[in-house]
């Protein structure tokens, strides 16, 4: 079974530029998450999708970040304009809700963003 | 806001030694997960604990969920260099919005 795919793996941009990240979840996984992981910290949830609807975007800086999952499969995360503090690894994860009620998420390799 | 505190933040030990990593919170979680992350990769799920007091074993790793579902521990027996990595605990609040709250992680180095 193929895992979560993300691209690009690395991106370097200047502040005030725009950038977009792409994620393809595990086939059949209805729930998709974007996390931001700053160096030395654990991942922080940005947004959660259930199919093509947003479930939780309370921690998404909506003045500069946007995300969509139009057809309920692939998703894109965009930053416009980028700031220096946006330098981080952006992780995509997907989940297939199990009957146990637990939430087991499977992560992609991440996109490492450097803003200069 | 739910917070997870992990300790220690860094740990470097010799191969063959035992160690325990702790994950504590003032909040109750519906489930708690442990992940291991290597440089340049995403976190990989090790285990999920759901029931208060639950103990799960994965080869040399033993995971325990506190009775009140606010804390957890990871114990590694006879650590090996291949255990080196960043260990993250993450809690899920339950319900539809179930994005994980992660701790800052424990950086573990096992020296040969």
Q: Give CA–CA dist B1/B27, Å, rounded.
A: 9
pLDDT tens-place string over residues A8-57: 999 999 999 999 999 999 998 989 999 999 998 999 999 999 988 999 99
Under 8 Å between Cβ of B90 and B102: yes
Give the nearest chain B residue to A107 (CA atoms): B42
pLDDT tens-place string over residues A62-85: 999 999 998 889 999 999 999 999
B20: helix, strand or coil: strand
Give the nearest chain B residue to A55 (CA atoms): B97
DSSP letter (8 states) at residue A72: S
- Token readout for B55 is 């103990």
Q: Is the pLDDT assigned to residue A102 strictly greater than 60?
A: no
- Which residues does chain B have within 8 Å of residue A106's beta carbon, measured at their own beta carbons? 45
pLDDT tens for each residue of chain B, 112 residues long: 668 999 999 999 999 999 999 999 988 888 899 999 999 899 999 999 988 999 999 999 999 999 998 899 999 999 999 999 999 999 987 666 778 999 999 999 999 9
What b/e string do you get for B38-51 counting C-beta neighbours within 10 Å, with b at 16 or more? eeebbbeebbbbbe
SS3 sequence, B38-101?
Answer: CCCCCCEEEEEECCCCCEEEECCEEEEECCCCCEEEEEECCCCHHHCEEEEEEEECCCCCCCCE
Tell me whether residues A103 and B103 touch, CB distance under 8 A: no
């Amino acid at each position: 079974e193929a895992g979560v795919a993300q691209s690009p793996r690395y991106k370097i941009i200047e502040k005030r530029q725009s950038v977009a990240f792409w994620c393809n979840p595990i086939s059949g996984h209805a729930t998709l998450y974007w996390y931001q992981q700053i160096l030395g910290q654990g991942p922080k949830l940005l947004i959660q999708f259930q199919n093509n609807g947003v479930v939780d975007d309370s921690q998404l800086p909506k003045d500069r970040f946007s995300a969509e999952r139009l057809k309920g499969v692939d998703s894109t995360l965009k930053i416009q304009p980028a700031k220096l503090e946006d330098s981080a690894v952006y992780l995509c994860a997907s989940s297939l809700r199990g009957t146990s009620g637990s939430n087991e998420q499977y992560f992609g390799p991440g996109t490492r963003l450097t803003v200069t | 806001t739910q917070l997870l505190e992990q300790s220690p933040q860094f740990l470097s030990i010799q191969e063959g030694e035992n160690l325990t990593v702790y994950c504590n919170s003032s909040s109750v979680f519906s489930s708690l997960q442990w992940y291991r992350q290597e440089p340049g990769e995403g976190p990989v799920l090790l285990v999920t604990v759901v029931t208060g007091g639950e103990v799960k074993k994965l080869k040399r790793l033993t995971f325990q969920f506190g009775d009140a579902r606010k804390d957890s521990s990871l114990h590694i027996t006879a650590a090996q260099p291949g255990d080196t990595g960043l260990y993250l605990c993450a809690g899920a609040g339950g319900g539809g919005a179930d994005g994980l709250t992660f701790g800052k992680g424990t950086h573990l180095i096992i020296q040969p």
